[in-house]
Amino acid sequence: MVTAEEAWRILGSLAKPIGTEQAPLGSLSGRVLAEEVRAESPFPPFSRALVDGYAVRAEDLPGLLVVCGSSEAGRPFSGTLLPKQAVRILTGAVVPEGATHVVRQEEVERSDERIRVGSPLESLNIQTRGEDAKPGDLLLTPGIRLGAGPIGLLASLGKSEALVFRRLRLAHLLSGDELAPAGESLPAGKIYDVNGPMMAALWDRGGWERMGQRWIRDLRVEMERAIEEWMPKADVLVLSGGLGPGEADLVSEALAALGCAVHFHGVEIRPGKPFLCASQGQTLVLGLPGNPGAHLALFWLFVKPLLDALSGMPFAVPWQTGRLSGDLSSGPLPRETFWPVTVASEEGSIWLHPLPWTGSASVPVLARTQGFARLPKGRGRFAAKELLAFLPIA
Ligand SMILES: Nc1nc2c(c(=O)[nH]1)N[C@H]1C(S)=C(S)[C@@H](COP(=O)(O)OP(=O)(O)OC[C@H]3O[C@@H](n4cnc5c(N)ncnc54)[C@H](O)[C@@H]3O)O[C@H]1N2
Ligand code: MOO
């Protein structure tokens, strides 16, 4: 049995990114960047007008100017602005040589090919060449998950692809002779599979590749065969159930028979005490207890930080702090406990409302859980307004 801190440390040491690949711009959403991105040329590539109006020279103002041509987006004015001249210009167009300012069209009087411009001009209304980035400027660093903003930046640089970490391949093996699939009538003694659909939902949101999900009967030989079959295909194999000390708790025996290295089996926490971590070669095996409450809590506390780190991001558990909105009392806690809470922000404070919780076998509470409050071992009473660490789940 290890402590939660030891489990995080071990998982962190196992979390080496799994490899990289080039991916096209259109498929980068949710991927993790594996390279530094620097500007190769100035951005914007030319000084451009920020408003519709006239390009002018400050030294001619105030005065009457002759409009000698136009510059539109994509169709620049080819000459140089001479004394007492102006060029009609539209937003995004190249500012002609010699111009110092762009004056808004609302601020000039125009008659035929002449404009009258007052003085002084308050703003340039020009985004100058290289204002956003100069050649060599660092624009993106490795380890960020790519969303719309960074993808837009890559597009502005003309990049048609980027180096990203390979998508993690995950498989989920669920054991339990009592499991029945949704949609079928429930024979006596059976329950519907909760962990399969719950984990599938978590994985789809994380952008990882779901290799497969398989049910196995509570037979050691079946468990062993399924692990052996999936180990070469997956980067991470998540097992559901079969971890406790009962006769049908088969995972440890199957892993031992396959010669896997077990890094820990059992963490001093509630829920999720039988949590197991093993590996063989490059493949990691995570055993999560069958109780759905343990499955969900362990995913957020340990599995997600590990998967993120294997995907190229830092290994981190993003704790926050909040105050209890009411008293929380249970018997003295036998282990460090992660208690389901709802989370609300009010008047600059985060409030944690402890949900009624009977343990990891309870499922309805999971539908309301927005975070897990971290409670130390030994205590049984926590007063309203006490400040606690919690892990938000979103
Ligand atoms: N003598 C002891 N018994 C138990 C201990 C212990 O220390 N000594 N630990 C308890 C704790 S804590 C947990 S957690 C469970 C761990 O059990 P397993 O990992 O072996 O899981 P199972 O026995 O297979 O299942 C537990 C529970 O969850 C239900 N389950 C399983 N899979 C699913 C699923 N896919 N969807 C919904 N529900 C599922 C299963 O029917 C059981 O009710 O052991 C305790 N026992
Ligand atoms: O570890 Mo169990 O999940 O505490 O019920």
pLDDT digits (tens, 9 = 90+) for 311-349: 999 999 999 999 999 999 988 999 999 999 999 999 889
* pLDDT above 70 coverage of the chain, percent: 99
For residue 102, is pLDDT > 80?
Answer: yes
Residues of each domain in the chain carrying CATH 3.40.980.10 = 4-17+167-310
Mutation test residue for ligand 1: of 291, 296, 365, the one with most atoms within 8 Å of CB: 291
Q: Are 301 and 272 in contact (CB under 8 A)?
A: yes
Model ipTM?
A: 0.96
Residues of each domain in the chain carrying CATH 2.170.190.11 = 48-127
CA of 43 to the centre of ligand 1 (A): 58
Query: What is the reported pLDDT for 246?
Result: 75
CA of 242 to the centre of ligand 1 (A): 7
For residue 48, is pLDDT > 80?
Answer: yes
- pTM of the predicted model as reported, rounded to 2 decimal places: 0.89
CB of residue 240 inside a 6 A radius of ligand 1: yes
CATH superfamily, domain 20-42+131-165, is Molybdopterin biosynthesis moea protein, domain 2 (3.90.105.10)
Query: What is the reported pLDDT for 211?
Result: 87
Residues of each domain in the chain carrying CATH 2.40.340.10 = 320-392
pLDDT band (50, 70, 90) for residue 119: confident
- 348-353: long-range contacts at Cβ-Cβ below 8 A with a sequence spacing of 24 or more? 349/322, 349/323, 350/320, 350/321, 350/322, 350/323, 351/322, 351/323, 351/324, 351/325, 352/322, 352/323, 352/324, 352/325, 352/388, 352/390, 353/325, 353/326
Interatomic CA distance for residues 211 and 168, integer angstroms: 9
Q: Among the CATH numbers 3.60.20.10, 2.170.190.11, 1.10.3720.10, 3.30.360.10, which is that of 48-127?
A: 2.170.190.11
For residue 2, is pLDDT > 90?
Answer: yes
Phi, psi of 10 (to 5 degrees): -65, -45
User: What fold, for 320-392?
Assistant: Beta-clip (2.40.340)
Phi, psi of 177 (to 5 degrees): -70, -15
CATH superfamily, domain 4-17+167-310, is MoaB/Mog-like domain (3.40.980.10)
Could you read off the pLDDT of 154-208 as tens digits, one per residue? Answer: 999 999 999 999 999 999 999 989 999 889 899 999 999 999 999 999 998 888 9
Interatomic CA distance for residues 255 and 316, integer angstroms: 28
- Of 85 and 204, the structure prediction assigns the larger pLDDT to 85
Q: Are 153 and 146 in contact (CB under 8 A)?
A: no
